[in-house]
A and B are shown apart, each in its own frame.
Chain A
Amino acid sequence: DTEVTQTPKHLVMGMTNKKSLKCEQHMGHRAMYWYKQKAKKPPELMFVYSYEKLSINESVPSRFSPECPNSSLLNLHLHALQPEDSALYLCASSQPGIGAYEQYFGPGTRLTVT
């Protein structure tokens, strides 16, 4: 199974709402990632979890809060977002470590902040 699943597919939220994005993989990968992608731009790394521990936080505002409950699951908790946070949020997984392992991406959650 080489699939990464993400829910929901679409999300519209107001600036005062709290919501969560979910990601799941069953490939045994021990590195999981959150990316933000704006239209016509490359994916922009937000967070990296390696062996369920946060290893990279690319200066992301605190209104984004990641969580890795176990090796298969990754959540992104959203609170008090701004309209400029509207984007496609992609989850990915790979093997951790220095080797050139590829990433497998989920279909993404298209987020609109009103």
Chain B
Amino acid sequence: GQQVMQIPQYQHVQEGEDFTTYCNSSTTLSNIQWYKQRPGGHPVFLIQLVKSGEVKKQKRLTFQFGEAKKNSSLHITATQTTDVGTYFCAYRDNYGQNFVFGPGTRLSVLP
């Protein structure tokens, strides 16, 4: 099936700095979802994007779906220690049965 890649694999930032993670696919995706997993926790759904060029905001988080629907980004403005965790992009395949997760970007925030 289709695979998605994420960059960077790890990111260390100082509290207050911005952070961006990218999710890239070699093929067009019908949808993209973002999940956050805190250390020792489970994945928690953040957002889903389905339209070309779509941009959605949640407080300090901005999510974008590329025009070609092959890439997506998550941008966090002014990171806080509560943002620590691994951010996964995922998509639901065209059959609607299978969720495929990217490898994740692990964010650490230094106070």
What are 15 pairs between A and B in contact, CB < 8 Å? A41-B103, A50-B97, A55-B97, A92-B99, A97-B96, A98-B92, A98-B96, A100-B48, A100-B50, A101-B92, A102-B33, A102-B45, A102-B48, A104-B45, A105-B43
User: Quick one: given A106-B42, A107-B42, are A42 and B98 in contact (CB under 8 Å)?
Assistant: no
- Residues of chain B within 8 A of A105, CB atoms compared: 42-44
Is the pair A99, B96 in contact by a Cβ cutoff of 8 Å? yes
Is the pair B106, A40 in contact by a Cβ cutoff of 8 Å? yes
SS of B interface (majority): loop
Interface size on B, residues (CB 8 A): 24
Whole-angstrom distance from the CB of B36 to the nearest CB of chain A?
Answer: 11
Contact-residue bracket for chain A: 20 to 34
A66: Cβ under 8 A from any B Cβ: no
In angstroms, Cα B98 to Cα A92, docked, is 12
- Residues of chain A within 8 A of B100, CB atoms compared: 45
- Residues of chain B within 8 A of A88, CB atoms compared: 42
In angstroms, Cα B109 to Cα A19, docked, is 39
In angstroms, Cα B101 to Cα A48, docked, is 15
Whole-angstrom distance from the CB of A63 to the nearest CB of chain B?
Answer: 22
**Chain B residues at the A interface, C-beta cutoff of 8 Å:** 30-31, 33, 41-45, 48, 50, 88, 92, 94-104, 106
Whole-angstrom distance from the CB of B38 to the nearest CB of chain A?
Answer: 11
- Residues of chain B within 8 A of A90, CB atoms compared: 42-43
Residue of B nearest to A88 (CB): B42
- Residues of chain A within 8 A of B41, CB atoms compared: 107
In angstroms, Cα B104 to Cα A108, docked, is 18
- Residues of chain A within 8 A of B48, CB atoms compared: 100, 102
In angstroms, Cα B51 to Cα A32, docked, is 26
Is the pair B101, A43 in contact by a Cβ cutoff of 8 Å? yes
In angstroms, Cα B92 to Cα A33, docked, is 13
Whole-angstrom distance from the CB of A41 to the nearest CB of chain B?
Answer: 7
